[in-house]
């Protein structure tokens, strides 16, 4: 039996209060089908900073939250998913920048990012390179104290609102002749690049964009860490991100479940409430089973990270299962509502569209299955 301790219960309740008081009003004050203004996002990040979750993976000695990832997962599930995904992009980037950055970068950027005064993101994916970081073609070239970035990134969360971008770039070849992928910090206030919003079917208050770097100038000192270490820190981040994304879909399925329970208690068919029909009860049972199994699998993966276990396969399994199971659960809730389920009035369509979005970031389900399979067999199917 999985039982929360008093501290975990307190942090869940604190998060729920913060969402009700400071985040949900911001979401409600703006159109549901358009990206939130930057000013609104900064107010949201200020609230997240007050809760201490803008850098949960950093130790307290570095100004972070020093949280266990299980506890962070419990918090993530309480956040509106469009906010949770933005936070994940931001705080994951903070962790990547912190790893191996110079004292100068830490001094100039980390305090503002942790305080929520600035927003950041990681730009990794390209049209021909997503999970395969070796296929990245964006390059950085160094000439003395200056560096130049050239390339195009796509599907970048927080792209249009980011003040700071951690860009994955190739920088020559390693000893095996493979592209060496490095991390480069780009400060939007000092370096010019283009950003274009990408219209999407779900999470429409969020910010998903394409970034074009055309001879973008940055200081050479903004190359972070050791050359070629970008893939390592991407993978470390993904192993936490994947179950966290799974918990975002759990949040959506839980909302659909509550709507379905209320509907079956009120709606009458064949002289009794819907809740009295056997097949409706089976659908409700299947929905809750999907929610609880998804939640526990994601927390199991995060606990493996906390215990220092290799979590590549477990994290991939958790995200793949949760995003699929919770999407199906929402569709069941939609079906239980009958005609109301396909109406815009109930909003279940939005829950489904939002949930479907989560099967893409940080590894599509096909890629995740291959990662899991590699961990089971010891044989990579990628190349």
How far from chain centre, in Å, is Cα 15? 18
Residue after which a domain boundary falls, among 227, 262, 290: 227
Q: Does residue 163 sit within a domain? A: yes
**Average pLDDT score over residue span 299-318:** 95
Average pLDDT, the chain: 92
State whether 158 and 290 are in the same domain. Answer: no
Here the CATH number for the domain that contains residue 340 is 1.20.140.10
| DSSP-derived secondary structure letter, 222 | G
List the domain range (segments joined by +) for residue 244.
Answer: 232-377
Q: What per-residue confidence (pLDDT) applies to 235? A: 80
Residue 52, sorted as left (phi over 0), alpha (psi -120 to 50) or beta, turns out to be: left
State whether 132 and 111 are in the same domain. Answer: no
Q: Does residue 1 sit within a domain? A: no
**Average pLDDT score over residue span 6-22:** 95
Phi, psi of 211 (to 5 degrees): -125, 135
State whether 298 and 251 are in the same domain. Answer: yes
Here the CATH number for the domain that contains residue 25 is 1.10.540.10
State whether 237 and 346 are in the same domain. Answer: yes
Q: Does residue 309 sit within a domain? A: yes
Q: Does residue 382 sit within a domain? A: no
State whether 262 and 343 are in the same domain. Answer: yes
State whether 28 and 100 are in the same domain. Answer: yes
State whether 164 and 40 are in the same domain. Answer: no
State whether 209 and 275 are in the same domain. Answer: no
Number of domains observed in the structure of the chain: 3
157 vs 269, more confident:
157
pLDDT digits (tens, 9 = 90+) for 183-233: 999 999 999 999 999 999 999 999 999 999 999 999 999 999 777 676 777
State whether 86 and 150 are in the same domain. Answer: no
Contact between 123 and 84 under an 8 Å Cβ cutoff? The reply is no
pLDDT digits (tens, 9 = 90+) for 134-174: 788 999 999 999 999 999 999 999 999 999 999 999 988 77
Here the CATH number for the domain that contains residue 150 is 2.40.110.10
Cα–Cα distance between 128 and 21 in angstroms, integer?
Answer: 42
Q: What per-residue confidence (pLDDT) applies to 343? A: 86
State whether 61 and 28 are in the same domain. Answer: yes
Strands of the chain, DSSP E: 120-123, 139-143, 146-157, 164-173, 179-187, 194-197, 208-219, 223-224, 268-269, 272-273
- Is residue 317 over pLDDT 90? yes
Q: What per-residue confidence (pLDDT) applies to 344? A: 87
Q: Does residue 20 sit within a domain? A: yes
CA distances from 209 to 86, 92, 194, 246 (A): 12, 18, 10, 22
pLDDT digits (tens, 9 = 90+) for 199-208: 999 999 999 9
**Average pLDDT score over residue span 304-333:** 96
Q: Does residue 23 sit within a domain? A: yes
Residue after which a domain boundary falls, among 192, 227, 262: 227
Contact between 302 and 73 under an 8 Å Cβ cutoff? The reply is yes
**Following DSSP, what letter does each residue of 29-75 receive, concatenated?**
TS-TTSPPPHHHHHHHHHHHHHHT-SSTTS-GGGTS----HHHHHHH
pTM for this prediction? 0.94
Q: What per-residue confidence (pLDDT) applies to 234? A: 75
**Average pLDDT score over residue span 75-100:** 96
Contact between 162 and 120 under an 8 Å Cβ cutoff? The reply is yes
Q: Does residue 78 sit within a domain? A: yes
Cα–Cα distance between 94 and 109 in angstroms, integer?
Answer: 9
Give percent above pLDDT 90 in the chain: 77
State whether 164 and 41 are in the same domain. Answer: no
Q: What per-residue confidence (pLDDT) applies to 230? A: 66
How far from chain centre, in Å, is Cα 318? 14
pLDDT digits (tens, 9 = 90+) for 321-347: 999 999 999 999 999 988 888 888 888
Residue after which a domain boundary falls, among 88, 115, 142: 115
State whether 245 and 304 are in the same domain. Answer: yes
Q: What per-residue confidence (pLDDT) applies to 1? A: 45
Q: How confident is the model at residue 382 (pLDDT cuts 50, 70, 90)?
A: confident
């Amino acid at each position: 039996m999985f039982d929360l301790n008093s501290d975990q219960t307190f942090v869940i309740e604190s998060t729920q209060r913060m969402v009700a008081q400071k985040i949900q009003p911001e979401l409600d004050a703006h159109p549901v089908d358009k990206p939130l203004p930057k000013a609104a996002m900064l107010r949201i990040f200020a609230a997240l900073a007050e809760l201490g979750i803008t850098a949960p993976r950093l130790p307290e000695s570095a100004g972070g939250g020093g949280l266990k990832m299980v506890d962070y997962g419990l918090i993530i599930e309480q956040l509106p998913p469009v906010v949770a995904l933005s936070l994940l992009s931001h705080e994951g980037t903070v962790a990547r920048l912190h790893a191996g950055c110079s004292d100068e970068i830490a001094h100039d950027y980390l305090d503002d990012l942790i305080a929520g005064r600035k927003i950041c993101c990681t730009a990794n994916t390209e049209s021909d390179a997503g999970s395969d970081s070796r296929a990245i073609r964006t390059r950085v070239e160094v000439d003395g104290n200056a560096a130049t970035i050239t390339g195009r990134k796509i599907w970048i969360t927080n792209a249009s609102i980011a003040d700071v971008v951690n860009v994955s770039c190739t920088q020559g070849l390693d000893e095996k002749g493979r592209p060496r992928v490095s991390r480069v910090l780009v400060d939007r206030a000092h370096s010019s690049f283009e950003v274009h919003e990408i219209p999407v079917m779900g999470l429409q208050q969020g910010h998903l964009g394409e970034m074009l770097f055309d001879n973008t100038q940055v200081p050479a000192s903004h190359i972070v860490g050791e050359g070629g270490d970008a893939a390592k820190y991407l993978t470390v981040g993904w192993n936490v991100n994947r179950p966290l994304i799974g918990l975002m879909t759990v949040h959506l399925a839980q909302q659909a479940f509550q709507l379905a329970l209320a509907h079956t208690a009120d709606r009458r068919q064949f002289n009794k409430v819907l809740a009295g029909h056997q097949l409706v009860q089976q659908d409700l049972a299947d929905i809750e089973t999907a929610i609880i199994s998804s939640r526990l699998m994601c927390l199991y993966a995060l606990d493996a990270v906390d215990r220092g276990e290799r979590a590549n396969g477990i994290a991939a399994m958790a995200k793949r299962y949760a995003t699929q199971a919770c999407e199906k659960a929402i569709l069941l809730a939609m079906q239980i509502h009958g005609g109301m389920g396909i109406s815009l009035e109930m909003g279940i369509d939005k829950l489904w569209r939002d949930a479907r979005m989560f099967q893409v970031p940080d590894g599509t389900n096909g890629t995740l299955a291959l990662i899991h399979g590699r961990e089971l067999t010891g044989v990579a199917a990628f190349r």
